[in-house]
Amino acid sequence: MTPTHGQPRRTGTRWGVFAQRDFRLLWAGETVSALGSSITVVALPLIAVVELDASSTSVGLLSAAVWLPWLLVGLPVGAWVDRMRKKPLLIACDLLSVAALLSVPVAAWLNALTFQHMVVVALLCGTSAVWFNTAYHAYIRIVLDGRDLLEGNAKLQGSEASTRAAGPGAAGMLAQAFGAVTALVVDAFTFLVSAVCLWRIRVVEPKFAPEHEQVSLRRQIAEGLRFLARDTYLRWMVTWGAVLNMALMGYQAVQVVFLVRTVGLNPAVIGLLLTSGSVGGILGALIATRFSRRFGTARGLLVLQAVTSPFALLMPMTTAGPGVLLFVSGAVVVGIGVSVANIVVGSFRQTYCPPHMLGRVVATAMMINHSTIPLGSLIGGVLGDTVGYRSAMWIMTGLVAPCWLILAVSPMRHQQDLPQTHAAEKGTPRAEGDRRGAS
């Protein structure tokens, strides 16, 4: 019997999912790649601010360019991923990112780097990420054969959070010692390592029934949209995720400029400060599985968001000296809440959605969630230039604090655990607002 989210299935070994060779390779490749990506998150705005003297609005535009492809191609990508083998697609995405990232330091060394070039690179890497992340979420289920998904996602989220903790500090030190463009060379190398790890995975992907390939792309996209729109759990999760992402990216788009020009910190200190949220992510990944067993995937997620989200309001209070601890405290606690939510919601989608629709549902959910990120980035950047960087931080963190109320009006407020399987897959109908806990 398939395990519930509240009681994840165990592998029967103290190593858990790490006992599986293919999962170890998947984990290693994604961990190394995530380290490089976390370096680039800091390096790109630093290059724009320090090397190209970009404004807050320009930095917001650069951040928006990374996420814009989700809005432009997210839906068709989900349908295509459901028709394709995942492993070759993931490797191709890694290699495209290598080429795009290496073009920045090459252009800089030739004294030909422009802001327009960086926007194009951000768009290319963002497009690659759309394909990669959509296929990756479906590939995790294949590698783990549909089992131990909560544990597997917790391990992946934990390593990702660890690399996000190390990445900004490494980016700051690299920028201080060698210049920010050097950091992108490191990121390109990590994508290459990821491609090699994926190539070595042996799991055989299941073949889809011929009828799925005969269905038109438009119809497949519509099926994914209908599934998400009609489901009483997924649509509230997606709504919450979209609003939260807009608010998070709003303050993140201006936080580097805020810390440089308002607080007066140097790149090395900024890099260390930006690790705070990732430290929270590590803590969230460590507690996610036990927390879900103790309090339930539904009730626990709701309560944790209500407790952690308001801590975002500490970050605009940051000042030089001991005042930087306010930024650290706010980022750590918010990071815990976001990390646990990513694990619980991701695992829920992977087991709840029918396997042949997983790519479309993931892409549709992530497209909606990520479509607000460019908007949040632009709003944050424009606010920074018009009302000031600290005021912009207050406005955007003020949106983060009450986001949990969206989940509070969803059906999960009546349940301890989220359901493990969609009603149609069980063969039994479920009415809107069914209040029974998962079995």
What percent of the chain clears pLDDT 90, i.e. is strictly above it? 17
The answer to pTM > 0.85 is no
**Ranges 238-247, 283-292, 357-366, 411-420: which has the least confidence:** 357-366
DSSP state string for 125-143: HHHHHHHHHHHHHHHHHHH
* Cβ–Cβ < 8 Å for 364, 76: no
Taking only the tens place, the pLDDT of each residue in 133-187 is 888 878 888 887 766 776 777 777 777 767 766 666 676 676 667 767 777 888 8
CATH code 3.30.420.10 for 17-202+217-424: no
- pLDDT, one tens digit per residue, over 70-103 is 778 877 887 788 778 888 999 999 999 999 999 9
| pLDDT value for 161 | 67
Check residue 73 and give its pLDDT.
83
- pLDDT of residue 4 exceeding 60, the answer is no
Q: Taking the CB of residue 256, how many other CB atoms lie within 10 A of it?
A: 27
Of 403, 86, 420, 53, the C-alpha closest to 246 is 403
pLDDT interval class at 353 (50, 70, 90): confident
Comparing CA positions, the residue from 232, 227, 252 lying closest to residue 354 is: 227
Task: Report which of 380, 391, 292 is spatially closest to residue 342, judged by C-alpha positions.
Answer: 292
- The residues, ordered by sequence, that sit 6+ positions from 151 with a Cβ below 8 Å of its Cβ are 8, 10, 11, 16, 17, 289
Instruction: Report the pLDDT averaged over residues 385-391.
Output: 91
Domain residue extents for the chain? 17-202+217-424
Predicted local distance difference test score (pLDDT) of residue 357 = 75
Q: Report which of 226, 221, 236, 343 is spatially closest to residue 281, judged by C-alpha positions.
A: 343
pLDDT given for residue 196 in this prediction: 93
Q: 3-state secondary structure string, 347-387?
A: HHHHHHCCHHHHHHHHHHHHHHHHHHHHHHHHHHHHHHHHH
Helices 358-387 and 389-400, packing angle to 10 deg: 150
